Structure formats: C-alpha cells, structure tokens
C-alpha cells in the first residue's frame, strides 16, 4: 500500500478512509512511575544530606518562606520588617502561594516545603518526556526522561525553596501547550498557551518576554496553515492569555504598593547587584553578583526609600554605570557568559552546594557531579542541536534552542549564574537525547550492514 503523508491534501476525487499513520509507542506508564520514584528519591536524599535533618531558610529562601507563612496565617503577601508586616512584590507569587497551601495544612514546617520542591522536581522529567514526545518522538522522550532524572542541577535545586524547580515545570507546560497549539492551530489552544505563559511569568518574571519569542517562532508556519487574518487573531489570543493571568497581580501591586509593578520589584536591584564597580573590580566576583543593599555608597542612597523606590533607584544607578562603561561591555558579557555556562558546580564567590557539616561537603569537593555530567553530555547536546536543525522539522524543533538563547542573553545582561541557567537545563537535556538517539540509530543501521540515507529538509 502506498504511504500517504498526513500533511498532504487528499485528492477531492479519492474515496474511502485515509490510511492511518502508525503511532509511535508511548512510554509505558510503569516506566514513568519508576522515573518519578527514582527522581524523588534522589532529590529528597540530596536535600536531607545537604541541608540536614532540621533545615533553616536563609537568603532568598527566607523571603519565600516568610511570605508563604504570612499568606498561610492570613497576613497577606507580606514580608516582616522592624515595624511589622508590610506588603511586598519582591518575590514572584507562585512559589510562596503554593508553599502557603502546604503551611495551612502542615503548619510552618520548612522541611515539608523542601519536600514539596522535591516532588515538583521529580515531576520535571515526566513533563520533559511529554514535551519531547510532542516535539521529536517517543524514543527521544524516553532518553530525555531518564537523563533528567539524574541531571545534577535539576537534583541540586530541588532541595531549596527557590523558584527554579517550579519554573522548570511551568516552562515545560507552557512549551508543550505552544507546540500542541502550532500542530493544531485553534484560538482556544492559543489562549491556553497564553494562560500557561502567564503562570510561568508569575513563577519567574524572566518568562514574560518568552511569548514574543513563541509568536516569532510560530509566525511563518501559522500563516501557512491558517492565513494572515486568523494568524493575527490567534496571536492576539496568546497575548490575551498572558494578560488575563498577569494583570490581576499587577493590579494588586498597584493597590498595595501604589506603583506600577508588573510582577516583582526585584529587577532593578538584580541589575545593580550584577553591574557595579564592587563586582567588576574583584576578579573573584567578576561576571557574578553580590547584594549591594547594605554596602556603601548604596546603603546611604537607599536609606528611607520604599521597596519600589529602591528598585527604581537601583535600576537607574545600574544603567548609569553601564552607560559610563560601554567599552567594557564585551568583557562584561564574556565574563557573565563564562560563569553561566561553566562546567563546575562551584566557583569563586558562587557559594556551596552543601552545609559545612554535611557528609556531602567533602564528597562534592573531591568529585564534582556537574563537571562529570558536562563533559559527558554537552558534546551530545551540541550534536543533537545539529541533528535537529538540519532535519525536516528543524524550525519546529528550534523552539527549545530559542529559549536557551533567551536565557543566555538574559545572563549576559544580568549575571552568570547556575540559578539562571537551571530552567534551560531540561531543554539542553532534550538536545542531548536527540543526539544520543541519532547515534543509537546510526549504530544499529551500520551494525545491520545497511547504508544510512539521511533525509534533508
């Protein structure tokens, strides 16, 4: 029987049902369950060994924990100050809100919040498998799922009350919805993708520009399948979905803080933490960031200002510094890029992955999991990018690369950090799986004595 391409229009004069295309086998449910259980065990085990039996929140985790507990006990989305609680938008709302639901049931139990992060982190490999299946195929999905189970950064960051793990999950859901929308363009699907992108932005504001990237990616194929007018309407539905989710939080911020704050008040401070003479003058911190809130001359400038005023002032000071150091922009960008894509877990001024008394501390000093992982998988990922882009669905499979590029560009503006890189790691794993699957198929064909004929777009 002649094979019929499902994308080829049928002859109007033909009769009878169209031959069905054979479906790729889906990952066996028990395999996905096994991946979840192993991923959860790795993440919970790491957090127990790295943080100890009685973990205490610190730094950014303390802010998320405080807001979550205040939400749980009815104080509102607020931080604690010397004069009591005060409304804040310093952190995005999704992680504190999810944690507050847990605290309402379990009380102010920080270890329970860490375990919830581990559960979300254990779901990320399954979400990646779903996205990989929709984008590439089932064989790549299975490889990607198991690689994500053991990916060091995905394991490490699941043990902390931060946005990284939840953002990985929301990002994959939004990407999956975007891919399904482009495969079957419908206004309702465009709206659904927009709603998920809005939720991703409320998890981490760096997602807010990504719907524009998705719109650019979908522009040409969407126009070919729907026409220019319908394309415009569906892109409008994508934007509407984002607005419907983000706008209520922006209105809340305007009411509580008396200022226009789309999502958080941390953007200006983050820009200044990375772009200031204190960081740039020290080779150990160059390309990274340090909190300057309590350092002079900034502490004096910020004294007496509100949260929104500090953020605006910080952004202005950072932009002024950048404008007066234009000749150093290439060096700054390279330093941040080197930190962002570094092969090791720890570096100068980057902190430690385990508490000093943890049994993991000595092991991590002697054996760096990220270094081993990087040396083994990055070449495969680069090969996977080459395979994907030169294939017949190169444009379709380029979306993860565009997102990785957006995160990289953001790091070159702000600072090079593994925290900023983590959300892109599942997408790097996807390309690694594409490369591994291509090599596996090539080996099987060559072992059989057949000649591999590569299909070109």
Going 47 to 50 to 54 to 59, the CA torsion angle's sign is negative
Give the whole-angstrom CA distance, residue 67 versus residue 94.
11
**Residue 415, helix vs strand vs coil:** coil
Quick one: tokens of 67? 């807001």
Per-residue model confidence as pLDDT tens digits over 101-113: 999 999 999 999 9
Per-residue model confidence as pLDDT tens digits over 119-149: 999 999 999 999 999 999 999 999 999 999 9
| Per-residue pLDDT band at 23 (split at 50, 70, 90) | low
Residue 448's pLDDT is what? 74
Residue 15's pLDDT is what? 45
- pLDDT higher than 80, residue 184: yes
The CA-to-CA distance between both ends of the chain, in Å, stands at 25
The highest-confidence range among 19-28, 381-390, 439-448, by mean pLDDT, is 381-390
- pLDDT higher than 90, residue 68: yes
Quick one: tokens of 199? 């939720």
Give the whole-angstrom CA distance, residue 112 versus residue 304.
36
| Per-residue pLDDT band at 16 (split at 50, 70, 90) | very low
Residue 444's pLDDT is what? 83
Of 327 and 345, which is predicted with more confidence?
Answer: 327
Least confident of 253-267, 330-344, 437-451: 437-451
Rounded mean pLDDT, 346-371: 64
Residue 24's pLDDT is what? 47
Give the whole-angstrom CA distance, residue 366 versus residue 362.
6
Quick one: tokens of 84? 């009591």
- pLDDT higher than 80, residue 241: yes
Residue 205's pLDDT is what? 96
DSSP label of 450: P
Residue 450's pLDDT is what? 64
Per-residue model confidence as pLDDT tens digits over 139-176: 999 999 999 999 999 999 999 999 999 999 999 999 99
| Per-residue pLDDT band at 349 (split at 50, 70, 90) | very low
Average pLDDT, the chain: 89
| Per-residue pLDDT band at 9 (split at 50, 70, 90) | very low
Q: Residue ranges per domain, the chain?
A: 166-262, 265-324
**Residue 354, helix vs strand vs coil:** coil
| Per-residue pLDDT band at 13 (split at 50, 70, 90) | very low
Rounded mean pLDDT, 334-341: 95
Strand partners, 86: 79
**Residue 134, helix vs strand vs coil:** helix
Residue 46's pLDDT is what? 92
pTM for the model stands at 0.89
Rounded mean pLDDT, 176-181: 97
Per-residue model confidence as pLDDT tens digits over 389-441: 998 888 889 999 999 999 999 999 999 989 999 999 999 999 999 999 999 98
Residue 436's pLDDT is what? 96
Residue 168's pLDDT is what? 97
Of 354 and 332, which is predicted with more confidence?
Answer: 332
Residue 273's pLDDT is what? 94
CA angle at residue 209 from 206 to 215, to 5 degrees?
140
């Amino acid at each position: 029987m002649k094979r019929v391409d499902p994308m080829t229009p049928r002859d109007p004069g033909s009769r009878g049902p169209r031959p069905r295309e054979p479906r790729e086998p889906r990952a066996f449910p028990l395999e996905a369950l096994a991946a979840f259980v192993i991923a959860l065990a790795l993440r919970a085990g790491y957090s127990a060994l790295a943080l100890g039996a009685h973990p205490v929140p610190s730094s950014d985790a303390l802010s998320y924990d405080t807001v979550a507990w205040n939400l749980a006990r009815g104080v509102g989305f607020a931080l604690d100050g010397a004069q009591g609680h005060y409304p804040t938008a310093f952190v995005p709302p999704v992680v504190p809100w999810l944690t507050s639901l847990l605290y309402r049931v379990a009380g102010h139990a920080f270890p329970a919040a860490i375990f919830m992060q581990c559960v979300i982190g254990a779901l990320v490999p399954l979400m990646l498998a779903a996205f990989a299946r929709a984008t590439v195929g089932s064989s790549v999905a299975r490889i990607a799922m198991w690689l994500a189970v053991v990916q060091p950064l995905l394991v490490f960051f699941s043990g902390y009350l931060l946005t990284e793990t939840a953002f990985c999950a929301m990002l994959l859901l939004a990407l999956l919805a975007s891919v399904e929308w482009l495969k079957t363009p419908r206004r309702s699907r465009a709206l659904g993708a927009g709603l998920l992108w809005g939720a991703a932005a409320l998890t981490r504001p760096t997602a807010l520009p990504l719907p524009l990237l998705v719109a650019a990616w979908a522009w040409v194929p969407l126009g070919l399948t729907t026409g220019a007018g319908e394309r415009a309407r569906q892109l409008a539905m994508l934007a509407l979905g984002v607005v419907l989710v983000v706008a209520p939080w922006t209105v809340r911020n305007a009411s509580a803080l008396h200022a226009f704050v789309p999502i958080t008040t941390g953007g200006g401070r983050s820009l200044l933490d990375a772009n200031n003479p204190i960081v740039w003058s020290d080779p150990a911190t160059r390309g990274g960031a340090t909190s300057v809130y309590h350092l002079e001359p900034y502490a004096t400038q910020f004294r007496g200002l509100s949260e929104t005023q500090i953020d605006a002032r910080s952004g202005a000071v950072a932009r002024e510094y950048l404008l007066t150091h234009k000749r150093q922009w290439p060096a700054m960008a390279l330093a941040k890029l080197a930190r962002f894509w570094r092969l090791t877990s720890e570096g100068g001024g980057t902190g430690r992955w385990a508490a000093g008394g943890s049994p993991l501390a000595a092991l991590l000093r002697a054996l760096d999991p990220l270094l081993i992982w990087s040396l083994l998988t990055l070449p495969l990922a680069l090969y996977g990018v080459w395979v994907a882009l030169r294939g017949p669905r190169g444009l379709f499979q380029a979306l993860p690369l565009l997102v990785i590029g957006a995160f990289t560009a953001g790091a070159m503006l702000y600072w090079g950090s593994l925290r900023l890189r983590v959300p892109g790691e599942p997408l790097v794993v996807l390309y690694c799986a594409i490369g591994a699957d291509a090599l596996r198929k090539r080996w099987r064909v060559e072992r059989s004595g057949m000649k591999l004929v590569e299909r070109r777009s």
